[in-house]
């Protein structure tokens, strides 16, 4: 029986507990805060499930230097784990720790200023986990709700390992730049459907918006230029043993142009590479609208 392994890591306060809950729902046997030096022994145990997930982070700081060698040993045994790294902006992490009143695992008691101690602990943690981050699929959780994060984690583990995976994600610059993108393309200079009255409430997933944008020569040229860039460099990235490449496409609000471009690029590249689509603004918008409809819909008439 082959063993499927997921390794969750990332910044303290970035949502690792939420990710583990998603994996438990997907049938994984999960262990939180496993010391890195015990990873090999844990894998060798006989589990009741052929799917296991472990969380390793800065709480086991002393054992982290051993982790790259442990992962290489697993690969030599034919076990290629899904590596998922959860990240968030420093300001987001500071706010989350302040709200929960939790202490950061690397904050120093000798620093009287709690805010300064927290920020220094976060930056030390970034340095400590930098090598692991570079090997992993990075998810920026700064503006993600729990349901979104759980959905993204389940998308990642659904992709077979062994070939480089592309992730195309749309976002809105007015909501901030995602930190999990390897490449970012700005499409704000393209014609904007927002200024077309009948297209404004729609999204880049709707046919009228797609037809409008596809009919613009500038949009087609931008799509072609991005495709040429990625067609040139993706094979070299794969040769460099990259497991994931995330391409961010941003417009002003993340509703029309970036969404259309992500869908168009994904269709082009999914013929050759495992490909995921992600729409950061639409994912939240859709869940909000579904929730609103649930509470605003009229009650069923009594019989």
More confident: 303 or 130: 130
Token pair of 12, please?
């303290």
Token pair of 250, please?
């941003």
More confident: 299 or 141: 141
- Asked if 209 and 193 count as a contact pair (C-beta separation under 8 A), the reply is yes
- 230-285: per-residue pLDDT in tens? 999 999 999 988 889 999 999 999 999 999 999 999 999 999 999 999 998 886 55
pLDDT at 115: 67
- 39-76: per-residue pLDDT in tens? 888 888 866 678 899 998 888 777 788 888 888 888 88
- For the ranges 205-209, 276-280, 286-290, the lowest mean pLDDT is seen at 286-290
Q: What is the enclosing helix (H) or strand (E) of 20?
A: helix 16-25
% of residues, the chain, pLDDT over 70? 89
Q: Which strand ranges, in their side-by-side order, compose the sheet holding 29-31?
A: 29-31, 51-55, 4-10, 82-87, 137-140
Token pair of 260, please?
């259309």
Q: What is the enclosing helix (H) or strand (E) of 147?
A: helix 146-158
Token pair of 215, please?
């009919």
- Eight-class DSSP state of 34: -
Summary count for the chain: helices (H), strands (E): 10, 9
Band (pLDDT 50/70/90 cuts) for residue 181 is very high
What does pTM read for this prediction?
Answer: 0.79
């Amino acid at each position: 029986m082959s063993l499927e392994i997921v390794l969750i890591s990332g910044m303290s306060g970035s949502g690792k507990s939420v990710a583990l809950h998603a994996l438990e729902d997907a049938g994984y046997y999960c262990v939180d805060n496993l010391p890195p030096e015990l990873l090999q022994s844990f894998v060798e145990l006989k589990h009741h499930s052929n799917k296991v997930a472990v969380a390793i982070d800065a709480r086991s700081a002393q054992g982290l230097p051993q982790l790259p060698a442990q992962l290489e040993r697993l690969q030599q045994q034919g076990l290629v784990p899904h590596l998922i790294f959860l990240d968030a902006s420093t300001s987001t992490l500071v706010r989350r720790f302040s709200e929960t009143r939790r202490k950061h695992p690397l904050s120093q008691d000798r620093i009287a200023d709690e805010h300064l101690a927290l920020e220094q602990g976060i930056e030390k943690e970034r340095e400590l986990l930098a090598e692991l981050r570079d090997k992993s699929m990075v998810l920026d959780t700064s503006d993600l709700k729990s349901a979104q994060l759980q959905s993204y984690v389940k998308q990642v583990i659904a992709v077979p390992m062994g070939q480089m995976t592309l992730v195309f994600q749309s976002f809105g610059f007015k909501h901030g730049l995602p930190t999990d993108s390897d490449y970012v393309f700005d499409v704000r200079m393209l014609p904007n459907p927002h200024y077309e009255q009948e297209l404004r409430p729609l999204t880049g997933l709707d046919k009228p918006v797609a037809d409008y944008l596809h009919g613009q020569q500038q949009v087609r040229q931008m799509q072609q230029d991005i495709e040429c860039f990625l067609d040139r460099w993706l094979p070299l990235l794969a040769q460099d043993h990259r497991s994931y490449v995330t391409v961010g496409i941003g417009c002003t609000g993340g509703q029309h142009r970036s969404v259309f471009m992500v869908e168009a690029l994904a269709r082009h590249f999914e013929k050759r590479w495992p490909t995921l689509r992600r729409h950061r603004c639409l994912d939240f918008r859709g869940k909000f609208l579904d929730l609103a409809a649930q509470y605003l819909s009229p009650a069923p008439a009594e019989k």
